Chains A and B, each alone.
Chain A
Amino acid sequence: MLRFIVRRLLQLIPTLGGLSILLFVWLQRLPGGPEYALLPDDATAEQRAELRRSLGLDEPVMVQYLAFLRRIAQGDLGTSLTTGRAVTEEFLTRFPATVELSVTAMLIAVTAGIPLGYLAARRRGSVLDVAAVGGSLLGICTPVFFLAFILKVVFAEKLGILPSAFRLSPGTNRTDLSGLVVLDGLRTGEFDVVWNALLHLALPGVALASIPLAVIVRMTRASVLEVVGEDYVRTANAKGLHRNTVRTRHVMRNALLPVVTSVGLLTGALFSGAVLTESVFAFPGIGSFIYEATQTRDYPVLTGFILLIATMYVFINLLVDISYSLLDPRVRAQ
């Protein structure tokens, strides 16, 4: 197990290294370098050249790349062109909001998707099955931002039962421990804040959950159908094991393996969805900030955020593989 983790961690190095080269080349190719972004429009050509020299941009590419790596290693991803704050700082202040939203969406998707997929498989061909399969196809084919807008118009603007923007109602006082509003509220006992935050999470959470939910229902259904036909399930039933035991120990344990993988991969897709969902609901996470950065062409923010998200995505996939090998002894043996 340890060797497996170490090997996977070592494999991370070339992946992240390659990614950094890609991003570095991308940074180099950007139109209008920092000499245009940092200096006023009427600066002379000499001033611009001087700034390039002081930033080391006249050095050979290899030297620049090493300097870029050194800056990254020190946690310096540059400065936002619009807010003037460090990219890492911007990321850290917004990241908890996105984590909270993504976890909410994933919880909705998993808690609804797995039972739904199981029931659809066990009652194959029933109304429930057709509805689950049809609904999940529809969910995959609906643009996330459109769904988000519909939810916003219906539940927030027409019915007025749920808030349509931000993480908390304006003027809410709370003790900030980690940036995770719900968790902080539970720890400090401010349950009104928790309730307030959950209400604000409801609409963006459902919108963001749509695609993972659809995928999980389909995966679970297909996977359960395959496992139910296996010999060991028949054996277990023939031995007279209780239905619940067969379901949890034999069917679900095997059927959930591919689902676990897809949950990991879906977490990456969640970041894409977050860009759209957060911008619709003015949710102050990294997604809405990336949206703003695309509007203002804030390149340091874009590259920095993408590097951080990609790194996280790679780590999430590592965690998925580890959990996979915990669940499936056959993977461990290889």
Chain B
Amino acid sequence: MPTTPSSQNRSESREGTKAPEPADSRDGHTPLLGRRAAKVDRLAELMGRREEGGHGAGVWRTAFDRMRRSPMAITGAVIVAVFVVVALFSPVIAPYEPVAQTWGDEVFPNRSVFVGPRAENWLGLDNLGRDQFSRMVIGARQTLLVGVVATLVGFGVGALLGGAAGAAAVLGGRWGRQVDNLVMRVIDMMLALPTLLLAVTVAALVGPSLTTVMIAVGVAQVPIFARLLRGAMLSQGSRDYVLAARALGVRKHRIALVHILPNSLGPVIVQSTLTLATAIIDAAALSYLGLGNPDPAFPEWGTMLADAQRFLSSAPQLAVYPALAIIVTALGFTLLGEAMREALDPKLRK
């Protein structure tokens, strides 16, 4: 008697697995290979679900649950959220024009006369009589722009190189391993240059501008992303679902793009959060080296900090505000990234 419900259950679940098949045959006169591919896709999906499932939730879901309980992640997320909101709505938040030298006759850097915080200028005036608070707020937008674009450059190029190398190594046979070898030698070469020097090289070549900083900082991150994605793809390449897909004759580029790549993106996404922090700090360093944006209409924290160094002994607050902003923002991204890494790392689970 007790066997009946269980067998019923099983047949039900089997039917559930079969369900997508008619849909597949409907959507086209797919040749054998395509139908097989669809089957394998389904298989990989189910396998993936069971593998991640364990306790009924996906790996991202459990990671998210863990992060919600981590004070590190919450602190980081709050900092990042505040930063992004300020950056997005900066023209609305900033009370004055960042370039207007409205109070220019009150500040005399040569005689060490500066104006500190007061009712109308919350953070005081800078060395040219501009409202420091407005400049900080507008600067958040520039800083976010630099960080995001630089990270996208590093992510994009790095993922392309690393993904190609990883896919070639896993699926390309002997030729593929040679391609992988070649790409990785190029990556090693890029790794052989200290990041700031790499950035300085790019910046010196293109000339000082905001674009330069973004490209330079981004290029410096390329090898890290490339290595990371390649490593993740190599480790995924030996999994059973890849073997199953190959055995069923799924085309290689499909295996690489649809099966291996999505499963390999976790560490790369975590790294982008950490890279945002590095990018903001590196951009500040490039600005200090005089390779940043020379246009005063777009204040950026790094440039502001670099400009304020001259008055550090007479008006330290001018340097401290942008420096604190950089440190806190970088800290926010680092905390969030580290918390994500810990949450996703099974070794660190307790």
Enumerate chain A interface residues (CB-CB to B < 8 A): 14-15, 18-19, 22, 26, 29-30, 137-138, 140-146, 149, 153, 157-158, 226, 268-273, 275-276, 279, 290-291, 294-295, 297, 299, 302, 306, 309-310, 313-314, 317
- Contact of B289 with A by CB under 8 A: yes
B228 to chain A, nearest CB (A): 15
What are 9 A-B pairs at a CB distance below 8 A? Answer: A26-B205, A137-B335, A140-B334, A141-B281, A143-B284, A143-B326, A145-B288, A268-B192, A309-B193
- Contact of B309 with A by CB under 8 A: yes
Assembled-state Cα–Cα distance A141/B305 (Å): 15
- Count A-B pairs with CB separation below 8 Å: 114
Other-chain contact of A15, B189, B194, B196, B319 (Cβ < 8 Å): B189
The residues of B that contact A30 with a CB separation of less than 8 Å are 205
- Interface size (B, Cβ < 8 Å)? 39
A143–B323 touching, CB < 8 Å: yes
Other-chain contact of A137, B188, B302, B334 (Cβ < 8 Å): B334
Other-chain contact of B204, A145, A158, A297 (Cβ < 8 Å): A297
Enumerate chain B interface residues (CB-CB to A < 8 A): 185-186, 188-189, 192-197, 200-201, 203-205, 277, 281, 284-285, 288-291, 302, 305, 309, 312-313, 316, 319, 323, 326-327, 330-331, 334-335, 338, 347
B185–A137 touching, CB < 8 Å: no
Assembled-state Cα–Cα distance A140/B316 (Å): 22
The residues of A that contact B291 with a CB separation of less than 8 Å are 294
B313–A157 touching, CB < 8 Å: yes
B331–A137 touching, CB < 8 Å: yes
Other-chain contact of A141, B193, B309, B316, B331 (Cβ < 8 Å): B331
A153–B205 touching, CB < 8 Å: no
A144–B285 touching, CB < 8 Å: yes
A143–B319 touching, CB < 8 Å: no
When A14-B185, A149-B312 are in contact, do A143 and B204 touch as well, CB less than 8 Å? no
A302–B201 touching, CB < 8 Å: yes
The residues of B that contact A153 with a CB separation of less than 8 Å are 312-313, 316
B196–A22 touching, CB < 8 Å: no
A141–B192 touching, CB < 8 Å: no
Nearest chain B residue, comparing its CB with the CB of A218: B338
A310–B200 touching, CB < 8 Å: no
Nearest chain B residue, comparing its CB with the CB of A14: B185
Add 14 more A-B contacts to A144-B285, A226-B347 (CB < 8 A): A137-B335, A140-B334, A143-B302, A143-B305, A145-B284, A149-B309, A158-B313, A275-B197, A276-B285, A294-B291, A299-B204, A306-B193, A306-B201, A309-B197
Chain A at the B interface: SS class: helix
Nearest chain A residue, comparing its CB with the CB of B199: A272
Assembled-state Cα–Cα distance A226/B347 (Å): 9
A18–B197 touching, CB < 8 Å: no
Assembled-state Cα–Cα distance A226/B201 (Å): 39
Assembled-state Cα–Cα distance A271/B285 (Å): 13
Q: Give the residue among A145, A268, A313 with the most B Cβ atoms within 10 A.
A: A145
When A14-B185, A146-B323, A302-B204 are in contact, do A275 and B289 touch as well, CB less than 8 Å? yes
B315 to chain A, nearest CB (A): 12
A158 to chain B, nearest CB (A): 8
Other-chain contact of B185, A15, A295, A302 (Cβ < 8 Å): A15
Assembled-state Cα–Cα distance A157/B311 (Å): 13
A248 to chain B, nearest CB (A): 25
Assembled-state Cα–Cα distance A271/B192 (Å): 12
B327–A141 touching, CB < 8 Å: yes
When A19-B189, A146-B319 are in contact, do A290 and B288 touch as well, CB less than 8 Å? no
Nearest chain B residue, comparing its CB with the CB of A276: B285
Assembled-state Cα–Cα distance A270/B323 (Å): 21
Other-chain contact of A18, B189, B194, B312, B326 (Cβ < 8 Å): B189
A314–B192 touching, CB < 8 Å: yes
